[in-house]
Chain A
Amino acid sequence: MKTLLEVDNLRKSFGGVAANDGISFNVAEGEILGLIGPNGAGKTSLFNAISGEIPPDSGEVRLLGERVSGRGPALCAARGIARTFQVVRSFDSMTVLENVMVGAFARTARPRAAMQAAQETLEFCGLAARADRPAWSLSPPEKRRLEVARALATRPRLLLLDEMLTGLTPTEAQGGVQLVRDVQARGVTIIMVEHVMEVVLPLVSRAVVLNLGRVLTIGAPAEIVKNPEVIKAYLGDRYAAA
């Protein structure tokens, strides 16, 4: 399989604390990659580097061989990297459709084309009925869908989902899982951050486990759950021995 994204020895410190300390891994085109690890492992920092929001101190992120890190989020979006946020961000003075149109305008300058694309994307994400509602009036799970729709409207190659399923009820999370599968079926590669292992592991082909800014291990879900290092990082030494 073709490699879409290469993360190469990425480092980022915040005032002496290394959030990312030499992280390297590849993402293959079309896969769903899980990014897991306890709080403070550096997952969101890594997302910020890949999406161009915060430049790394050293190391590179390459999309299809081209360096995208340190060149700003607008360039990353143009090259096909889209993201959602851990704390939902919506354009609250705008309608749901208008929110998604902002994303669609990344690919066209024509308002009608952007509107058409936005409507199709809302249809796909199951939000078509909410199109003309103000964004602030959506429920939390709907807002998460809106973020996915907005990101998808930029027609990304790679979609970064930051704790998209966290805080949802089991039924809502089920709907979210289905949406992720649908997005993958469209040919979009996905990296998803979750710290609820049982939600993320059935979805992903491989997972990268981060701990204290470093890659602990990379592998298929079945290998990950048996890895004593992972158990130790999550549950502490006592359980690893048991």
Chain B
Amino acid sequence: MDNDILRRRRRELITGVIVLAALAMLPLPIADVYTRNLLIITLLYAGLAQAWNILGGYCGQISLGHAIYFGVGCYVSTLLYVRLGIPVAFGLFAAGAVCGALALLVGWPCFRLSGHYYAVATVVVGEIGYLLFLNWDFVGAATGIYVPFKGESWLALQFRTQKLPYHYAMLAFVAATWIAAWVIEGSRWGFSWRAVRDDAVAARSLGVRVFASKMAAAAISGFFTGVGGALFAQYVGYIDPDSVLAGTFSILIALPAVLGGVGTLWGPLIGAVVLIPVSELSRSYLGGSGRGVDLMIYGGLIVLVALARPQGLVSLLGLRRRAHENAA
């Protein structure tokens, strides 16, 4: 039996493999450190946005507190490395597990709220996390933690000058989140979650357990966001509450997914590829003026996309396909 759904899924998987392979080749001809850094950050946000998309897109639960999972992920793997010498290759799973559990803990009370009320609750949770870490001496409080350099190593993901290993670590992160989203899309869970997003009452009447669906989506989303945090901490080598737990991070994680297209496989990646370079480039060329021109351009772009394509940039691809189908 062959039909639209199976064909589409196969096509998406093939496209996914091609895109990931292309992203693996991309940095090879680029020697410039600045550009390589830009690619790494773009990949990081693509992965984080996909992690957010699993909860916010597929399950429709708009979280504006994802900085807490990102930040806690940073701290868990860094503390394991600094205090116990456990390298990030293992630490990132611990970070993911802690953040997945944390997402369940947050979800337990918060999923009793829905829609905007849920979103507001997550903002509060994010702020609580930030303030907690800011005043907690064990984790360095406001001073933060330096990640000591212990020699070049893949396990600890530490390299003196090379950027390429970080590129591949982030790419593996993007691949993991993308494949997770692809698998979810085709599974019973994915169908249940989308049903919950579109109409929870109808979903319930068909036997979908709404609360459990939200919790599962939150746990997976939290897991991957924590993993992203662990990788980021190792890349930058220094974390403090302001750089990993601030509320703006929650927005930055969600934005590529929203701009690219929520609840779609490609939206987060496309959104990150457009947004992150624009924000970085406008900051480096215009940011010094002290008048915030870079942020105006950045904000203007978001407004433009929101007005012209509220379904996200990914819908531009759909337009062409639909025109093609009509012609056929």
Contact = CB atoms under 8 A, between A and B. Distances in A.
Interface of A: 51, 53, 72-74, 77-78, 82-83, 85, 89-95, 97-98, 101-103, 105-106, 109, 111-112, 114-116, 119, 131-132, 150-151, 153-154
Given A105-B188, A109-B188, A115-B3, A74 B195 contact: no
Given A98-B5, A111-B188, A106 B198 contact: no
Q: Which of A77, A93, A101, A151 has the most CB of B within 10 A?
A: A93
Contact of B206 (A103, A119, A131): A103
A111 B186 contact: yes
Given A91-B195, A93-B198, A78 B5 contact: no
A53 B205 contact: yes
A53 B201 contact: yes
Contacts of A115: 1, 3, 5-6
A151 to B, nearest CB: 7
A191 to B, nearest CB: 14
B267 to A, nearest CB: 13
Interface residues of B, number: 25
Contacts of B188: 105, 109, 111, 114
Interface in B184-199: 186-188, 191-192, 194-195, 197-199
9 contacts: A53-B201, A73-B205, A74-B204, A77-B206, A77-B207, A91-B195, A92-B198, A150-B202, A150-B206
B198 A154 contact: no
Contacts of A51: 205
Nearest to A112: B1
B205 A77 contact: yes
B203 interface: yes
A111 B1 CA distance: 13
A198 to B, nearest CB: 29
B199 A132 contact: no
Contacts of A103: 206-207
Contacts of B187: 111
Contacts of A151: 205-206
Nearest to A77: B207
Contacts of B1: 112, 115-116
Given A74-B204, A85-B202, A106-B206, 17 more contacts: A51-B205, A53-B201, A73-B207, A74-B208, A77-B207, A78-B207, A85-B205, A90-B199, A91-B203, A98-B5, A98-B191, A106-B207, A112-B1, A115-B3, A116-B1, A132-B4, A151-B206
Q: Which of A51, A77, A114 has the most CB of B within 10 A?
A: A77
Contacts of B198: 90-94
A82 B205 contact: yes
Contacts of B194: 91, 93-94, 98, 102
A154 B206 contact: yes
B311 to A, nearest CB: 10
Nearest to A116: B1
A33 B197 CA distance: 33
Q: Which of A74, A83, A90 has the most CB of B within 10 A?
A: A74
A89 to B, nearest CB: 4
B270 to A, nearest CB: 18
A105 B202 contact: no
Q: Which of A89, A91, A106, A132 has the most CB of B within 10 A?
A: A91
Contact of B208 (A89, A102, A114, A116): A102
A101 B193 CA distance: 13
